[in-house]
Amino acid sequence: MLRMKKPLFSLWTLSIAFGLSFASHTATIWSQEPVAPLDRADLELRVQRLVQLLEHQDRQQRDSAETQLIEMGDVVMPLLPTTDDNTAAETRERLIRVRRAIEQSAARSVLEPSHVTMEGTFTLAQILEQFEKQTGNHVVIFNADQQTGRSVSVEFQQMDFWQALDQTLDQAGMTTNSYTGQLRTLGVTPVDQGAVARFENASYSGIFRVNAAEVQAQRRLDVNNGGSLHIQLQVQWEPRVLPIVLRHEYADVEAVGDDGEVIASEIERGAADIPVQSTVAGLDVVLPLKLPSRSVKFLSSLKGKFVATLPGHEETFEFTSLDQARNVQQQKGGVQVTLDRIRKNGSVYEFVIRLLMLNKDQKFESHLDWAANNIFYLEDASGKKYDNANYENVLGTDTEVAYRYLLPLPGELKDYKLVYKSPAAIMVVPVEYELKNIPLP
């Protein structure tokens, strides 16, 4: 099925901005010492020289250049050359190792929670604006004209994003809404009457927040000691991140009643596999437990672990000379992107892009359409972007997918370059949580 006007966005925002100033006679925002920006020309020259040294006749020089490129970190990723059939075999392998080492380091940093530093009295809108500037997390307000202008006093010193947000929302009489219909966006809305505090009833683990949202008990009357207890967890993540899928093994949960007895999972095997919708900043996981005795009034502890699959470091692929392009391959990190063909039908151009995972351990799955969120656009000589392409999937295997993009363009095709952005790898990470004092019905 052809999809209309895919919203385009960056799959993985890594930067966390600090050092902000915010004028207010009642408030102060602390900042880090300013860091002098890197001179891009010098950086490009250094990377170019180190890449050349990867082909040096002295192995020690080659090893040293590879190590230095890795130590420079992710700032060098867009400056590393693409590899093709004309690249020397050893140089290609070294560049692959450099990219993978940097990707692994970047992945570890992305999974760390972003932090907020603020002190003073602000409106909710002002606080959320600062949150976005400092963390990259976009949070919007729904249906809250009065709450938007309410004053909230905060004192955050390098506090994790979710803890800072929960404390802010508790003061403002607000809660979250994950279903915004917008990419990488979390909504906040007024709480229902009688709502419990968010900050006291959640578990925080890196970029994730987990809370118990609902408990259902069902007792069978035709079976002695028959029945089930279903715990619905709400799992949210920092909206700057877009997971692909969450998997919770039913066996990876340990519940303890207020009597100290362990409550086992109702299902010994199996798991909940939940794909993430790109315009939703959270999801629900239902854990089936055995029904405890009537004397148990609450769960003193609920421990668990789920596995999150997330996109890794984003790579940019640029294709030029489009009037002559056919089956043009570029390889960066763990992916290979091929501009398969271009056809014209009137004023509309058809572009077929193939995406191949080079790591055979990483596979596409039919229900995980994450590659559809990759960025695709064309750019003319003036820098104007044309990004409102319609698209459809035309190929899907374990390791390769292909998409057909349809885009109307004025002028000649040779006057454009094609830009495609994709994660270079897929990460699978465990996330542990613990919730306490969950009341039972």
1 confidence band (pLDDT: 50, 70, 90): very low
- Indicate the domain borders of the chain: 40-110, 115-190, 203-307+430-439, 314-424
What is the C-alpha end-to-end distance of the chain, expressed in Å? Answer: 45
**pLDDT of amino acid 216:** 95
In the sheet that 208-219 helps form, which strands lie side by side, from edge to edge?
203-205, 208-219, 227-237, 282-290
**pLDDT of amino acid 28:** 40
SS in 3 state form for the chain?
CCECCCCCCCCCCCCCCCCCCCCCCCEECCCCCCCCCCCHHHHHHHHHHHHHHCCCCCHHHHHHHHHHHHHHHHHHHHHCCCECCCCCHHHHHHHHHHHHHHHHHHHHHHCCCCEEEEEEEEEHHHHHHHHHHHHCCEEEECCCHHHHCCEEEEEEEEEEHHHHHHHHHHHHCEEEECECCCCCEEEEEECCCCCCCCCCCCEEECCEEEEEEEEEEEECCCCCCCEEEEEEEEEEECCCCCCCEEEEECCCEEEEECCCCEECECCCCCEEEEECCCCECEEEEEEEEECCCCCCCEEEEEEEEEEEEEECCEEEEEECCCCCCCCEEEEECCEEEEEEEEEEECCEEEEEEEEEECCCCCCCCCCCCHHHHCEEEEEECCCCEECCCEEEEEEECCCEEEEEEEEECCCCHHHEEEEEEEECCEEEEEEEEEEEEEECC
368 confidence band (pLDDT: 50, 70, 90): low
Q: Please compute the mean of the pLDDT values over residues 299-315 and round it to a whole number.
A: 90
**pLDDT of amino acid 278:** 85
Q: 325 CB contacts (<8 Å, ≥6 apart)?
A: 319, 339, 342, 418
Q: Please compute the mean of the pLDDT values over residues 239-261 and round it to a whole number.
A: 94
Residue 400 reports pLDDT greater than 50:
yes
Residue 15 reports pLDDT greater than 50:
no
38 confidence band (pLDDT: 50, 70, 90): low
**pLDDT of amino acid 363:** 66
Q: Taking the model in full, what pTM does it have?
A: 0.71
Q: Please compute the mean of the pLDDT values over residues 120-136 and round it to a whole number.
A: 96
Q: Which is higher by pLDDT, 356 or 15? A: 356
Q: Please compute the mean of the pLDDT values over residues 389-414 and round it to a whole number.
A: 92
In the sheet that 27-28 helps form, which strands lie side by side, from edge to edge?
27-28, 115-123, 151-160
Cα distance between residue 252 and residue 287, in whole Å? 10
**Strand pairing report for 185-190 and 138-141:** parallel
Please tell me the class of the 203-307+430-439 domain.
Answer: mainly beta
CATH assignment of 40-110? 1.25.10
**pLDDT of amino acid 332:** 79
Cα distance between residue 167 and residue 290, in whole Å? 34
CATH architecture under which domain 314-424 falls = Sandwich (2.60)
Q: Please compute the mean of the pLDDT values over residues 144-170 and round it to a whole number.
A: 89
Residue 160 reports pLDDT greater than 70:
yes
Residue 10 reports pLDDT greater than 50:
no
Residue 321 reports pLDDT greater than 60:
yes
**pLDDT of amino acid 119:** 97
Contact criterion met (CB below 8 Å) for 141 and 188: yes
Take residue 55 and report the two structure tokens written for it.
């082909």
**pLDDT of amino acid 76:** 82
Cα distance between residue 404 and residue 353, in whole Å? 7
Q: Please compute the mean of the pLDDT values over residues 154-177 and round it to a whole number.
A: 97
Whether CATH 3.55.50.30 fits 115-190: yes
Cα distance between residue 64 and residue 62, in whole Å? 5
Chain mean pLDDT for the chain: 85
Q: Please compute the mean of the pLDDT values over residues 4-17 and round it to a whole number.
A: 32
Residue 140 reports pLDDT greater than 60:
yes
Residue 44 reports pLDDT greater than 90:
no
Q: Which is higher by pLDDT, 379 or 42? A: 379
Domains 40-110 and 203-307+430-439 in one fold: no
Q: Which is higher by pLDDT, 223 or 286? A: 286
**pLDDT of amino acid 426:** 78
Task: Report the candidate in 370, 375, 386, 379 with the shortest Cα–Cα distance to residue 421.
Answer: 375
Residue 7 reports pLDDT greater than 90:
no
**pLDDT of amino acid 107:** 66
pLDDT digits 0-9 by tens, 71-86: 998 778 778 887 777 8
pLDDT digits 0-9 by tens, 167-203: 999 999 999 999 999 989 999 999 998 899 999 899 9
Report percent pLDDT > 70 for the chain. 86
Residue 57 reports pLDDT greater than 70:
yes
